């Protein structure tokens, strides 16, 4: 790194020969890079875990094309899809949570508290219980349920109310209604269908293959650049309030609609891949903000931290109780529930609730 590059990194501004400039926060880049390294390191440990144990060195060697053919089959065909799915789902949830919290200007803004995750669950339950759908149609039901829920919430809040306390309150109400609907759908299904639905509702990465990972990876490839590059600057301005953002030339309603659609789709595709994994979207943005010590949505750090959190939860679920694997949704629920209690207590002390 030459002196000019070092100076540009410290200042947080890079200028291209064509005259374009890109502003960034150095600490946010460092935090994101550390989270990526942690996520990849834990993913290697996850791939090496199981009845057929592999050391991290064996896993890395196999991923690079070496190793025994048996190791290659276990790593590349059986365990790598699960790890990739976990990384992708965690990143999608982290970014979706960052967008929701930024738009609502509330640390409780999260797809699993606002009803979007419950909507995805309703879509899956309807597909499984009512139509006996397979894995592909169930995943489609999750996306459809999340999108329909987003449209319903948008209609209830109105174009000018899709932010702030109104979004939070309407989302919580819709989540409560959908929770009751989901319970009813489970009671109407056959025993095998109900058992399958309950297994999906716990949130799990068990048995995931490339067919499960591909849709959420495509969603990330399309929606992450749209959110970060296309709307990232406008999202930071929206946090200052609609009047300030409008004065700075932001097309408020258009940008907010695009961001909400992107966040809903990210949460829906994540649910389609791994089930309703709770609290990652809630905790990742807040922890990212504390680590970067910078205001704003912290989109990239939240996504990277979400990926690290989910694979770490999956690894913990495999190792906490030898001989018994906990679904990743159970682990995130246990940890996230404690975080939610702490967050509510903190918000009450500051007088926000």
| Per-residue pLDDT reduced to its tens digit, 20-63 | 445 557 788 889 999 999 999 999 999 988 778 888 888 888 88
Specify burial of residue 27 (Cβ count, 10 A radius: 0-12, 13-18, 19+): middle
Q: Are residues 103 and 163 in contact, defined by beta-carbon separation less than 8 angstroms?
A: yes
Position 251 scores a pLDDT of 75
Angle at 244 between CA 239 and CA 246, to 5 degrees: 105
CA–CA gap between residue 175 and residue 179 (Å, rounded): 6
Please state which of the ranges 21-30, 193-202, 219-228, 251-260 shows the lowest mean pLDDT.
21-30
Q: Is residue 67 scored above 90 in pLDDT?
A: no
Position 135 scores a pLDDT of 67
Cα 38–chain centre separation? 17
Q: Could you tell me the pLDDT band of residue 303, with boundaries at 50, 70 and 90?
A: very high
Position 20 scores a pLDDT of 43
Q: H-type helices in the chain, by residue range? A: 3-11, 26-48, 56-63, 69-72, 80-104, 111-114, 116-125, 131, 135-157, 164-188, 191-202, 210-225, 232-238, 242-247, 252-274, 280-292, 299-319, 328-349
For residues 66-79, average pLDDT: 84
Higher pLDDT, 244 or 118: 118
The model's pTM is 0.86
Q: How many CB atoms lie within 10 A of CB 325?
A: 18
Q: Is residue 225 scored above 80 in pLDDT?
A: yes
Instruction: Spell out the long-range contacts of 239-245 with Cβ–Cβ below 8 A and sequence spacing 24 or more.
Output: 239/102, 239/105, 239/295, 239/296, 239/297, 242/163
Residues in the chain: 353
Residue 263 CA: distances (Å) to CA of 217, 234, 335: 14, 15, 23
Q: How many CB atoms lie within 10 A of CB 118?
A: 28
Position 240 scores a pLDDT of 67
Position 237 scores a pLDDT of 76
Beta bridge partners of 294: none
CA–CA gap between residue 120 and residue 116 (Å, rounded): 6
Q: Maximum CA pair distance of the chain? A: 68
């Amino acid at each position: 790194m030459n002196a000019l590059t070092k100076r540009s990194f410290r200042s947080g501004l890079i200028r291209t020969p064509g005259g374009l400039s890109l502003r960034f926060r150095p600490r946010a880049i460092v935090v994101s890079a550390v989270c990526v390294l942690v996520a990849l390191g834990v993913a290697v440990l996850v791939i090496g875990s199981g009845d057929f144990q592999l050391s991290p060195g064996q896993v890395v060697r196999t991923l690079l094309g070496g190793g025994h053919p048996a190791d290659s089959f276990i790593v590349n065909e059986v365990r790598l899809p699960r790890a990739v799915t976990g990384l992708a789902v965690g990143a999608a949830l982290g970014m979706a949570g960052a967008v929701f919290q930024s738009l609502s200007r509330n640390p409780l803004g999260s797809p699993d508290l606002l009803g979007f995750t419950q909507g995805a669950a309703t879509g899956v339950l309807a597909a499984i219980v009512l139509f006996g759908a397979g894995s592909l149609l169930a995943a489609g039901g999750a996306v459809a349920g999340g999108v329909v829920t987003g449209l319903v919430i948008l209609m209830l809040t109105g174009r000018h109310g899709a932010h702030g306390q109104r979004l939070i309150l309407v989302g919580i109400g819709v989540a409560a209604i959908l929770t009751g609907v989901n319970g009813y759908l489970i009671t109407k299904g056959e025993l095998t269908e109900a058992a399958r639905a309950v297994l999906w509702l716990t949130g799990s990465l068990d048995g995931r293959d490339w067919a499960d990972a591909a849709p959420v990876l495509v969603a990330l490839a399309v929606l992450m650049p749209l959110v970060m590059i296309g709307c990232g600057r406008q999202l930071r301005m929206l946090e200052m309030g609609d009047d300030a953002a409008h004065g700075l030339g932001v097309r408020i309603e258009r940008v907010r609609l695009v961001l909400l659609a992107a966040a809903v789709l990210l949460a829906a595709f994540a649910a389609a891949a791994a089930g309703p994994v709770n609290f990652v979207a809630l905790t990742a943005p807040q922890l990212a903000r504390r680590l970067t010590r910078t205001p704003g949505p912290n989109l990239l750090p939240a996504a990277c931290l979400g990926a690290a959190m989910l694979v770490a939860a999956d690894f913990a679920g495999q190792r906490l109780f030898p001989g018994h694997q906990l679904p990743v949704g159970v682990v995130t629920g246990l940890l996230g529930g404690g975080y939610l209690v702490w967050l509510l207590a903190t918000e009450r002390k500051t007088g926000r609730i």
